[in-house]
Amino acid sequence: MTRIVLDAMGGDHAPTSEIEGALMAGRELDVEVILVGPEARLRQELKGHAGGTDRAIHVVDAPEVITTDEPVAQAVRRKRNSTIRVGMRLVREGYADGFVSAGNTGAIMATAKMVLKTLGMIDRPALAAVLPTVAGKPAVLLDVGANAVCKPFHLLQFAMMGDVYARTILGVEAPVVGLVSIGEEQLKGNELTREAHKLLEQSGLRFAGNVEGQGIYAGKADVIVCDGFTGNVILKVSEGTSEMLFEVIKQEVLKSVPTRKGAVLARPAFEDIKRRFGYEEFGGAPLLGVKDVCVICHGRSTGRAIRNAVQVAMELCQKRVPERIEAEMAKLNQDARLSQQGVEA
């Protein structure tokens, strides 16, 4: 059975959401969850829940917590028994298959590089987010926050990892790759996008050129690459826009009797859309490019979001995504005769 380590102290509502999520995962999925955090406290909290003493839920002690607002480098260096560090060690040493946390992204990323290690052909692991599109099929956007500053060849590597992810997890046979820029013409954008455009054109991937906001949500590409600053902005602006629209729709339909009646009738459709398009449903963002499975959740994750992140981690483990990325990177690199050195030179 797949075993997933869950950082019990990661999110804004930790450990409540984490415990809820672990219990839901234990009940609904074929998985064992190892909660990592202050043991006494976690055992105490678990007692209050049905299923809290279930065999699918384990607890491993980690006394230290890295908060969201700590300077990353210092926290990672000093807190050697943080939930993140202890949890990843369990994975690295083979006691578990994958790691899930809603904690400090920077600390997770730094610890992952140190403990899980980066794959040989990858310079920078990237956070991948799955986005819904009008076309009905999801698209994968990366990087959404692991690397605020990137070089062109990082974007090429992101595209290669995204290609594997789209084929393995999203089931797209021949993924189309797009590059986030401002304007669809090659010349638009900044130096990073112009250089990355050239590399992607020569990469052997199915590169469709630049994509903008509309193209992303129209499903113009299956894999969309950008630096982590831009990707994070895209993710959060999408969230902000849809939350605003749902709120405004609510306010607006409540204003008159007929529209209010209409809203009552149309509610099931709305609930369904909110569910499908909410971050909860997608669970977490996998950190691609490290040797083991690592999924990072939204800080304000609910129990359901955590449960879904555990499911995402399970799937990544079962489909051996890190190994496949390693194998495919080797193949793609060979096909395109683009060794990392060649690209950098």
Q: Give the shortest CB-165-to-a second copy separation in angstroms.
A: 21
Question: Interface with a second copy by CB under 8 A: which range of 12-20, 58-66, 189-197, 284-292?
Answer: 189-197
Residue 112 CA to its chain's centroid (Å): 14
Q: 263: exposed, middle or buried (C-beta count within 10 Å: 0-12, 13-18, 19+)?
A: middle
Query: Rule CB under 8 A: is residue 1 a binding residue for a second copy?
Result: no
- Contact criterion met (CB below 8 Å) for 232 and 145: yes
Point out which residues pair with 295 in neighbouring strands.
100, 286
Q: Give the shortest CB-132-to-a second copy separation in angstroms.
A: 7
| Type of residue at 117 | K
Q: Give the shortest CB-127-to-a second copy separation in angstroms.
A: 11
Half-sphere exposure of 107 (CA within 13 A, CB side): 30
Task: Give 307-332 as a DSSP string.
Answer: HHHHHHHHHHHHTTHHHHHHHHHHHH
Size of the site for a second copy (CB under 8 A): 64
Query: Rule CB under 8 A: is residue 259 a binding residue for a second copy?
Result: yes
Each residue 96-125 as x (binds a second copy by CB under 8 A) or -, in order, gives ------------------------------
Helical axes 191-201 vs 152-168, angle rounded to 10°: 50
| Alpha-carbon gap, residue 220 to 208, rounded angstroms | 8
Query: Rule CB under 8 A: is residue 344 a binding residue for a second copy?
Result: no
Q: Give the shortest CB-306-to-a second copy separation in angstroms.
A: 20
The b-or-e profile of 31-55 (16+ CB within 10 A means b, else e) is: bbbbbbbbeeebeebbeeeeebebe
Query: Rule CB under 8 A: is residue 318 a binding residue for a second copy?
Result: no
Q: Which of 174, 182, 327, 330 binds a second copy (CB under 8 A)?
A: 182
Q: Which of 151, 168, 229, 281 binds a second copy (CB under 8 A)?
A: 229
Residues 24-83 that bind a second copy (CB under 8 A): 68-69, 71
Q: Which of 1, 48, 55, 265 binds a second copy (CB under 8 A)?
A: 265
| Alpha-carbon gap, residue 7 to 121, rounded angstroms | 28
Which residues would be at the binding site for a second copy (CB under 8 A)?
68-69, 71, 132-134, 145, 148-149, 180, 182, 185, 187-191, 212-218, 228-230, 232-245, 247-249, 252-253, 255-256, 258-259, 261-270, 272-273, 276-277
